[in-house]
Chain A
Amino acid sequence: MNKIIIDPVTRIEGHLKIEVSVENGEVKDAKSSGMLFRGIEFILQGRDPRDAQMLTERICGVCPTSHSIAAALNLDSAFGISDKIPDNGRIMRNLILGAAHIADHILHFYHLSALDYLDITKVASYDGSDAVLSSLRNFAERGKLGPFIPRYEGDYRLSDEITLNVIAHYIEALTMRRKAQKMVSIFGGKMPHNMGVIPGGVTMVPTTDKIISFIWRLNELRDFINTIYLPDVLAIAEAYSDYFEIGVGCRNLLSYGSYDLDGKESDLTKRQRLFKQGTVSIDLNFNKLDITQISEEVKYSWYESGSAETEPKFGKEGAYSWIKAPRYGGKVYEVGPLARMMTNYVNGDPRIKELADPILSRFKAEPKNLFSVLGRHIARAVETKYIADSMQDWLLQLKPGESSYVDYIIPDDSIGVGLIEAARGALGHWIEIKDKKIANYQCVVPSTWNLSPRDDSGQPGPVEQALIGTKIKDESNPFEVVRIVRSFDPCIACAVHCIKM
């Protein structure tokens, strides 16, 4: 048995170690380890509840908007105003979240994932007149290819022409994701760590000039998504179609749903959302969401077992990660864009079917083939288009000059829950308030689900399951491992959490 250790796994957020054992070219065992503990939830205890969205968004600089909105929904619920947020506030939160998702997905495909498929050194032989490619060639000619070398060598399959196109798009995507961050900033004040999302709504009143400046940035992004991002994902799928079979995972998907389409239903598991709440299995069996089914287990994590609060305990016998193991009904669930797409797909959402079905028929694939490395990339690109197209309508629903915020009184004692979909999947925040202070705060975060270690009954986490059984062609260049891991878009600063409520 050979051991392959990848530490650090790069081009993700945070500190992740992946270890696989390989026998006769096949992964027999896999371990996913989060390598940083900060304990933000401990830091929240005793603070003013209103600070929760400002502090929890700093869990992650890639997806702060998701945390700020999960926290705001959580506080809305604890303050008893979930059904009173003005439509302007609800819609601006959707726009802030949507713009951030677009930025994240473009970043993930081009800057975090593409180098696993794209031979960027081919730019050295570029002899055309494109200014960007020429400047990259000059860069390559200086012989200092940091940070693009060292890398895995071998399995780069794209033609020269497609390679050069995607390299140019890698650079263009830097500009486009920056524009999407500007869109967050238009209503959120700044990015990363937007300031606009607060309990009660949003700090800013929408104005027509802001709306139109948002619309035209969105239009540029929609062009990029339609003419560059989606086609590039499909070009890579064409060249690497075996990845419809690789990285299947745990075969169960979970979505909390996201993008509130109405604000009157206080129960977030029942609220009308663009992405629906529920679970989907690989045989396309759908079930409604029941958050009482969620548990967290720590047998293989560096925490004391059994106590009400999970205190860190580095070096615990048998443990190998700072990430805990959340489970749903005792079973292992994957979260993320694939879960969102499939939840809407099995519920017959016509827009999702319209986007996904032609892709399935082009690759002669079944919906179950989407439970794969390529399925995750395709789901991400499809939902980027779906979200961007929806945002146009939302912008026109805003009422310029009208309120986006409702006032509240902080209760002495209360509890709350905030459920949303971060770019990487289902994100839940829970709060307990005592004497107007935070007594307890808990986050269960997408990468906690996906990158989790084994649970108390020994079931490996979703990424671990996706790795086990994979054939590795070249153990000194284990492309399969990093392609599988990155298809989940790991975010480890988010994943590591500790409080049990």
Chain B
Amino acid sequence: MGNVEEYPIIWLQCATCTGCSVSILNSESPTIKNILVDEILPGKHLNLRFHPTIMAGAGQAVIEEMEETKQRKSGSYILMIEGAIPTIEDGNYGCIGEKDEKPITMLSAVESLGKEALAVIALGTCAAFGGIAAAHRNPGKCVGVDKLFKSLSIITPLINIPGCPPHPDWLVGTVASFLLNGLPKEEDLDEYRRPKAFYGRLIHERCPRRADFDEGKFAKNFNKPGCLYELGCKGPVAYADCPLRLWNGGVNWCINAGSPCIGCCEFGFPDVVSPLYQKMDVEALPIVGRRIEIE
């Protein structure tokens, strides 16, 4: 057991609802116990040094633990960020804790930990793109990690795993790929730094109600069969593998529950897909999947 390689992880919660953490708790295989306690892959253990919802300690002791991990493991820890980062009032709308009675803003924590991390995973749409916290009026002037890093010229490798919440498999798969193959190559990520393995195709391309769309059979109201396009479904512009992967261990997913996709993995969610239950313009539909006239 001396050969187990430890991968320190610092998990920051910023302007979040904790839904991303709860989603990861729902991981089916590996379970959360496998992820945190066991060797997630032979000889490799994810060593969670800081996670506000899980860790036993509290107060300054855990802040010191976080800082010590940063110093001792500089350049070798993975930084997980959940939630957007409030920038208004020097970041004072959101604090993760304090040291010697000085509050530590989310803004300063993301900056100082982000600079020295081996890699940063922005988990969830808020961390990736601002998400709900940054929706119109954006009272806290919240931003996603990518935007913040660019403004601060931080060049630490960044992977976005959006979703409101993200599917646990998307995180676990990304981490496993990193443990086996190292950081993703640029061609493995899309223009929004999302792993193509999970976000490479539109919901619409693989939707079980696709045949209804192609045949023009649209549900006119909830509870009715047919494609949900007229009820506002954003599947035609949303990238994720939900139709194949399903949610909560395969028991269901949004469209199978008769609910239109709300495009929760997209840059600009929720504003760009609002009103959520309003039919998108036909012009917004992608070329891919448009019905081809058969001669």
Interface residues of A (CB under 8 A from B): 5-15, 17, 35-40, 42-43, 45-48, 50-51, 54-55, 58-62, 64, 107, 111-112, 115, 120, 132, 135-136, 138-139, 141-142, 144, 146-152, 171, 174-175, 177-178, 181-182, 184-193, 195-196, 198, 200-201, 203-205, 213, 312, 314-315, 322, 403-405, 407, 482, 493
Contacts and interface: CB of A to CB of B under 8 A. Distances in A.
A148 B93 contact: no
A403 B222 CA distance: 9
A147 B132 contact: no
Contacts of A178: 25-26, 28, 31, 249
Contact of A182 (B15, B61, B133, B251): B251
B165 A405 contact: no
A384 to B, nearest CB: 18
A321 B262 CA distance: 34
A12 B13 CA distance: 12
A10 B22 contact: no
Given A147-B49, A178-B25, A322-B93, 14 more contacts: A10-B53, A11-B53, A38-B142, A60-B18, A147-B36, A178-B31, A181-B26, A185-B251, A185-B252, A189-B252, A203-B257, A204-B258, A315-B89, A315-B92
A190 B247 contact: yes
Contact of B274 (A47, A187, A193, A196): A47
B6 interface: yes
- Interface range, B side: 35 or more
10 contacts: A14-B18, A35-B95, A38-B142, A48-B278, A59-B17, A142-B45, A178-B26, A189-B247, A196-B257, A315-B92
A190 B276 contact: no
A142 B262 CA distance: 44
A432 B26 CA distance: 36
A47 B277 CA distance: 11
Contacts of B21: 61
Contact of A50 (B32, B37, B276): B276
A177 B89 CA distance: 39
Given A36-B93, A62-B22, A141-B1, A146 B48 contact: yes
B42 interface: no
A181 B252 CA distance: 11
A200 B231 CA distance: 14
Contacts of A111: 54
B19 A5 contact: no
A251 B32 CA distance: 39
Interface string B239-263: 0000000011101111011110010
B275 A5 contact: no
B140 A205 contact: no
A43 B98 contact: no
A311 to B, nearest CB: 9
Contacts of A148: 55-56
Interface in B135-166: 135-140, 142, 164-165
Given A120-B56, A189-B253, A55 B270 contact: yes
A493 B17 contact: yes
B15 A38 contact: yes
A131 B180 CA distance: 26
A358 B274 CA distance: 53
A120 B54 CA distance: 13
A15 B98 contact: no
Contacts of B288: none
B174 interface: no
Contacts of B114: none
A379 B271 CA distance: 41
Nearest to A103: B22
B221 A407 contact: yes
Interface in B1-31: 1, 4, 6, 8, 13, 15-23, 25-26, 28, 31
Given A60-B17, A174-B33, A146 B49 contact: yes
Nearest to A14: B18
Given A9-B58, A51-B276, A62-B22, A192 B223 contact: no
